[in-house]
Amino acid sequence: MSDRPMDFGVVDTLLGLMVGAIVGGLIGGLLLGVVGVLACGVIGAPVGACIGFFFGDCFGLWLEKFRRAKLTYLQKRALIELQGNKWHRAVLTLTKVIQSEPALIEAYHRRAIAYLALNEFDRAVADCNVLIKSDPTPITHSEAVPPYVADAYLHRGTAFARMGQHDKAIADFTDTISLVPRGAIPYERRAHSRRAIRDFGGAAEDERRALHLSGPEKGHRKEK
């Protein structure tokens, strides 16, 4: 038994509550019981631990809500920057989005568009690769392939074409056509690459198909 007067039990309890609230909010309530036992007695420790768990959970939830709010803000800002042709700013903003949420596919899609506008073709290809690899659905099952995959093939093919790698570009435009057979733009771009490698017959056929498909309500989906 302790030699201290019994009145100090109230002090022990209060100290346990204080230690529990402060330490638990920072590092969680797991260690708080031990701290309470050592510093404040057996009465204050369990109560402090409970409060520590409570504040720790609240702090964690607050951090997650803050992270989500910041992510939403950055996504909206990036979209505005893309719409305003502020490509460098868009790249920086989208990079922050990807660092915060690496699995957010739309950020890679939009950054690839910005990289294309900046003539940073290798980086555009890298982002398109992420998009294409994110979905394992075979191209032969085109109805099950997400729309952003078709966009990725189109953007990657465009990057290859601008780098003079027309064989790779033709392959990507062909895959785009497999996924979006009613799109005029892939035919137009494949025609350009076919003409670059002197496949004039194939280029003429693609141009004919593109002309047939083109129209205000037809063609590949508008790039975002």
Question: Which domains, and CATH codes, for the chain?
Answer: 10-67 (no CATH), 120-224 (1.25.40.10)
Packing angle of the helix pair 166-179, 147-162 (nearest 10 deg): 160
Ordered alpha helix ranges (H), 101-135: 105-117, 121-133
Question: Confidence class of residue 137 from pLDDT cuts 50, 70 and 90?
Answer: confident
The pLDDT assigned to 84 comes to 96
The 10s digit of each residue's pLDDT in 92-117 is 999 999 999 999 999 999 999 999 99
The 10s digit of each residue's pLDDT in 37-94 is 444 444 555 555 555 555 556 656 766 776 678 888 999 999 999 999 999 999 999 9
What does the mean pLDDT of the chain come to?
79
Distances (CA, A) of 19 to 14, 30, 47, 149, 158: 9, 13, 10, 53, 61
Residue 190 predicted with pLDDT over 80: yes
The pLDDT assigned to 15 comes to 39
Among 98-107, 159-168, 187-196, which stretch is predicted with the lowest mean pLDDT?
Answer: 98-107
Contacts 24+ apart (CB under 8 A), 188-196: 189/154, 189/157, 189/158, 189/161, 190/157, 192/161, 193/157, 193/161, 193/166, 193/169, 194/166, 194/170, 196/161, 196/164, 196/166
Cα–Cα dist 80/83, whole Å: 5
Top pLDDT among 16 and 171 is at 171
Buried (b) or exposed (e) across 76-96, using 16+ Cβ within 10 A? ebbbebbeeebbebbbebbeb
The pLDDT assigned to 8 comes to 37
Mean pLDDT over residues 179-208, rounded? 96
The pLDDT assigned to 142 comes to 77
The pLDDT assigned to 70 comes to 84
Distances (CA, A) of 184 to 8, 99, 222: 84, 35, 11
Distances (CA, A) of 87 to 73, 122, 146: 18, 16, 25
The pLDDT assigned to 60 comes to 66
Residue 166 predicted with pLDDT over 90: yes
Question: Confidence class of residue 30 from pLDDT cuts 50, 70 and 90?
Answer: very low
Residue 169 predicted with pLDDT over 80: yes
